[in-house]
């Protein structure tokens, strides 16, 4: 219980504050789109991953069909699979994964995952799951407060401030990517994605994220293999 | 409300359906695979590169083709601010708070400067 509380404190450390600010941008975007506050917070809670939240709201804003939105969301969520796969071994205790660990995967999102990958190995295995759930709940609180704040202030702040808030999620994604990059092929994947993304968005909107991910990722993968 | 999302409970149910089928399922699949896949497997490495490229693509899409009021900021200002966030982040040894702050301040300053009558 104490460990869970200690994890929760992430909400007031830098990752929590950044996520709060990014969520303010998401909340403002929702207000811009015409969603109500309830749906804004609901989307926040059920997805709990900023890229998916932004994509689903963005697609609604552009009047895209929801099947298209679901497809785009699925593409942003692919990254959750390797993230979950790499996190699970850290949550094992006495070589078994506690049943709660399965539900705890809902908290797998860039920032919680980053913190987990860095801090969990330093904790005794018995304390890891409570700590992880604590950070998950802490980040959930931070995002919900941020989304509500963004929703409420969106119409009352100058447009430039609102624009800066909308600018926070993409900045956060880029910096998180840079933070997790370890080897040259990681940088290649990020660079290719950054170049191919806008190109495919212009050429083939709708499947642009899929093409960007698969083509950029495969080239980076091939290069990393060739170097061996 | 909006063009494509139904009003009331139906909207919530639809969002829940999209979340469970398109989004949460990846976490569940990760949990199931996590028992077998090793972090060094080729498939695991490939998926990691795909997700990195995809999030990078999404980032640039949000910055170059933004929805809402962000679109009213000049595209050069958006790109310079993003670059500033990245540069400060790396120089400050991966300090997230400082990186995001620098990008935001850069955008504020440049956007205000662009409005001044010269």
Residue-range domain boundaries for chain A: 2-180, 182-228
List the single residue in B with minimal CA-CA distance to A60. B4
pLDDT band at A137 (very low <50, low <70, confident <90, very high): very high
Which of A215, A216, A225, A209 shows the shortest CA–CA distance to A189? A216
Q: Do the Cβ atoms of A173 and B107 come within 8 Å? A: no
- pLDDT of A184-203, one tens digit each? 899 999 999 999 999 999 99
| A-B contacts at Cβ under 8 angstroms | 329
Phi/psi-derived region of residue A96, left when phi > 0, alpha when psi is between -120 and 50, beta in every other case: beta
Nearest to A173 among B35, B59, B112 (CB): B59
Structure tokens, A79: 């990254």
List the single residue in B with minimal CA-CA distance to A18. B97
Which of A175, A86, A59 shows the shortest CA–CA distance to B22? A59
- pLDDT of A37-49, one tens digit each? 999 999 999 999 9
Q: In the prediction, which pLDDT does A166 show?
A: 82
B43 reaches A (C-beta below 8 A): no
- pLDDT of B39-74, one tens digit each? 567 877 887 788 789 889 989 998 999 877 888 899
For B72, how many CA atoms within 13 A lie in the half-sphere containing its CB? 14
Whole-number percent of chain B with pLDDT over 90: 49
Contacts of A103 in chain B (CB under 8 A): none
- pLDDT of B74-94, one tens digit each? 999 999 999 999 999 999 998
Q: Give the count of beta carbons closer than 10 Å to the beta carbon of residue A212.
A: 31
Q: Could you give the maximum distance between any two Cα atoms of chain A, in Å?
A: 56
pTM: 0.77
């Amino acid at each position: 219980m104490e460990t869970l509380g200690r994890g929760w404190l992430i909400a007031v450390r830098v990752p929590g504050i950044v996520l709060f600010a990014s969520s303010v941008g998401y909340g403002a975007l929702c207000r811009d789109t015409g969603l109500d506050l309830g749906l804004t917070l609901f989307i926040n809670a059920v997805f709990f991953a900023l890229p998916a939240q932004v994509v689903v709201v963005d697609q609604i804003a552009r009047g895209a069909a929801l099947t298209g939105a679901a497809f785009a969301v699925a593409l942003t969520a692919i990254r959750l699979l390797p993230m979950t796969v790499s996190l699970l071994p850290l949550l094992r205790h006495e070589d078994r994964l506690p049943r709660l660990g399965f539900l705890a995967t809902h908290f797998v999102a860039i920032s919680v995952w980053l913190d987990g990958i860095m801090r969990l190995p330093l904790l005794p295995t018995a304390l890891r799951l409570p700590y992880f759930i604590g950070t998950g709940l802490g980040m959930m609180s931070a995002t919900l407060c941020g989304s509500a704040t963004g929703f409420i202030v969106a119409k009352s702040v100058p447009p430039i401030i609102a624009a800066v808030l909308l600018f926070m999620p993409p900045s956060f994604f880029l910096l998180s990517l840079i933070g997790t990059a370890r080897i040259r092929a990681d940088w290649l994947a990020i660079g290719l994605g950054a170049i191919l993304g806008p190109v495919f968005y212009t050429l083939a909107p709708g499947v642009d994220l899929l093409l960007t991910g698969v083509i950029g990722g495969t080239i980076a993968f091939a290069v990393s293999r060739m170097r061996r | 409300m909006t063009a494509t999302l139904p009003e009331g409970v139906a909207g919530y149910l639809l969002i829940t359906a999209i979340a469970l089928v398109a989004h949460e399922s990846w976490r569940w699949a990760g949990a199931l695979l996590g028992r077998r896949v090793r972090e060094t497997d080729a498939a695991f490495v490939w998926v990691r590169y795909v997700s990195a490229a995809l999030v990078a693509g999404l980032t640039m899409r949000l910055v170059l083709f933004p929805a809402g009021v962000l679109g009213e900021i000049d595209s050069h200002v958006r790109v310079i601010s993003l670059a500033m966030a990245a540069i400060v982040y790396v120089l400050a040894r991966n300090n997230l708070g400082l990186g995001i702050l620098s990008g935001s301040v850069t955008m504020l300053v440049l956007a205000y400067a662009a409005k001044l009558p010269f």
